[in-house]
Amino acid sequence: MAARLRRRRWIGLARAAVLCAAVSILLDHVRAANRHGDDWSRFDRREVQFVAAHDGQSIDVRRSEGEAATAVHLLGVAAAGDPVWDQIAAQQLALMLSGKPILLQLEPTQTRDDRGRLLAYAFVDERQPINAQIVRQGWARADPQMKCALQGMVQQAQKEASKKQIGIWSKSAGDGRGK
């Protein structure tokens, strides 16, 4: 009889622990989804205005005049890592994006990085994302650690820039980190 009561007590405690864990996971997901609002409805396949570029991988955008800027990490792209090239990339991005409507496309699994930046592809036209264009010009690198749907396109852009030896891949790029 005592063994039966102990077993019932353990089963009850196990059920309570599983229920607590499930509620905790559910609340964590709700908090994560609400931390930045509903990014998909606010940004996915929506036009935004360019505000600023920081380097080859980061830009600021806003949905409308007067709204606070949102930091965007361009999916699949890593900054050159050299202050001179990062500044060149920021200037080139500003030239490419200023005054043009930018269409953002988000990945379905994750909308923000660990720094709170929106993760997105940016399009000025429908043919090719800015993400691949800046890498193809040699202003930034493909980020092989960032898994994303268009990663192959960005990596192919890097191969082209490296083969043509342009931008950070040029022989005159300085420290040779692009090689």
Q: Which of 19-33, 37-51, 95-109, 110-124 has the lowest mean pLDDT?
A: 19-33
Q: In whole numbers, what is the pLDDT of the chain averaged over residues? A: 85
What is residue 93's three-state secondary structure? Answer: helix
Whole-model pTM: value is: 0.74
Q: Rounded to whole angstroms, how far apart are CA atoms 141 and 172?
A: 17
The pLDDT assigned to 23 comes to 57
Is 53 within 8 Å of 90 (Cβ atoms)? yes
Q: Rounded to whole angstroms, how far apart are CA atoms 84 and 119?
A: 24
Residue 176 pLDDT > 50: no
Tokens of 79: 């900054």
Residue 86 pLDDT > 60: yes
Q: Which CATH architecture has domain 39-169?
A: Beta Barrel (2.40)
* Position 11 confidence tier, pLDDT thresholds 50, 70, 90: confident
The pLDDT assigned to 10 comes to 75
Tokens of 87: 């500044």
Q: Rounded to whole angstroms, how far apart are CA atoms 40 and 66?
A: 21
